[in-house]
Amino acid sequence: MGTTDGKVVGTTKLIDNGDAGLRWNLTILGDGYKDTEQPLYKQNVDAFVAKLKTTAPFDSLWKAINVYRIDVTSTDSGADDPRACGGTGVVAVTYFDAHFCERGIRRLLVVDNSTALSVAMNQVPLFHMAMVLVNTTVYGGSGGAVAVFSQAPDAAEIGLHEMGHTVFGLADEYPYYAGCETGEQGHDRYTGADPSEPNVSATADRALLKWRTLVLPATTLPTMSNADCSHCDGSASSVANGTVGAFEGAQYFHCGLYRAEYNCRMRELGNPYCAACRQRIRETLQRHLP
């Protein structure tokens, strides 16, 4: 399975906000779309672009962004979904070799990243970020150099989360590694050096907090603390939604690291990016505005 199992048809500049040399260029590729399914692929890309356009802060930075759609056909529809991981057993012969169950993990949907990058570089030499939409309604995705996600109803959230990592260098904000209920060891309290990522901090000191300009003087710091570092803090937010402060529990640790808001797309999918993440995205894309 691979590049003999389909072809690159062409590229369309879907969102044209100007010279690619000046804008931020997002490139979208598809895998597991047969020739006859290209209209579906176009619909799927349009749906993702519509979501991106209404996602803060991209909504206010839209004029900075070009979007390119690279049309790629595959011999088969969908992606491999091995039974070994609880999948359907479907085998699909596709251009980028999309498959679930990478490393035995059910929802880990990957493609051949090197091929995807190579096609993106050939078709859109000035691209900043590449994403691959996979034609399956089974939920899954992955991150890294290329963000990959399926066409399950919530899977576009995976693309937005992974873009946070790949382009903007955002940290994960979830306060555990393997999961809150796993009894994980070694993730109670962070004692290492301050992380360089802009959305997590080893201090809640107002003068040193990376997102201090976003914190109102009346906001208490830390805003929420975890009383029992042997577990994740499962308590509801003690402040109004959208309050920017220092919330304990982030980047795989129950205590000792802080995030800017109670919730964020980098903590849990389906939430907006927090203010610290939005600030980083703005700082990165602002130079691309006309």
Partner 1 sequence: MTMSKSHKTEPAYGSPNRTVRLLFSYEGDKVELVGQQHITMLAPPSDALEGYDNQAGFWIEMRDAGGQTLYRRCMSNPIQPSVEVFSNEGSHSIHREDVSEPKGAFFVLVPEMEKPTKLALCASAKTPGKPLQAAKEFAVFDVKGRS
Beta bridge partners of 33: none
Q: List contacts with partner 1 (CB under 8 A).
A: 20-22, 24-25, 102-103, 105, 107-108, 113-114, 117, 121, 125-126, 128, 139-145, 152-155, 157-158, 161-162, 165-167, 169-172, 174, 176-179, 186, 190-198, 201-203, 205, 207-208, 210, 252, 268-271, 283-284, 287-288
Taking the C-alpha atoms of residue 111 and residue 116, their distance in angstroms, rounded to an integer, is: 8
Comparison of 76 and 281: residue with beta carbon closer to partner 1? 281
CB 258 within 8 A of CB 226: no
Closest contact distance (angstroms) between CB of 97 and partner 1 is: 13
Q: Are 223 and 250 in contact (CB under 8 A)?
A: no
Strand pairing of 253-259 and 247-250?
A: antiparallel
For partner 1, the closer CB: 75 or 113: 113
Q: Measured in whole angstroms, how far is the alpha carbon of residue 261 from the centre of its chain?
A: 18
Q: Are 8 and 119 in contact (CB under 8 A)?
A: yes
Identify which of residues 91 and 145 has a Cβ nearer to partner 1 in the complex: 145
Q: How far is the CB of 197 from partner 1 (least distance, A)?
A: 6
> Which residues have CB under 8 Å from 155's CB, separation 6+?
139, 140, 141, 149
CB 276 to partner 1: min, Å? 12
Residue closer to partner 1 (CB basis): 45 or 138: 138
Q: Where are the alpha helices (DSSP H) in 54-166?
A: 113-123, 156-166
Which amino acid is present at 220?
T
Whether the Cβ atoms of residue 32 and residue 134 lie closer than 8 Å to each other: yes
Do the Cβ atoms of 88 and 108 come closer than 8 Å? no
Q: How far is the CB of 221 from partner 1 (least distance, A)?
A: 13
Q: How many CB atoms lie within 10 A of CB 98?
A: 29
Nearer to partner 1, 37 or 162 (CB): 162
Q: Choose between 76 and 260: whose C-beta lies nearer to partner 1.
A: 260
* In the complex, minimum distance from the CB of residue 114 to partner 1, in angstroms, rounded to a whole number: 5
- Minimum CB distance to partner 1, residue 33 (Å): 21
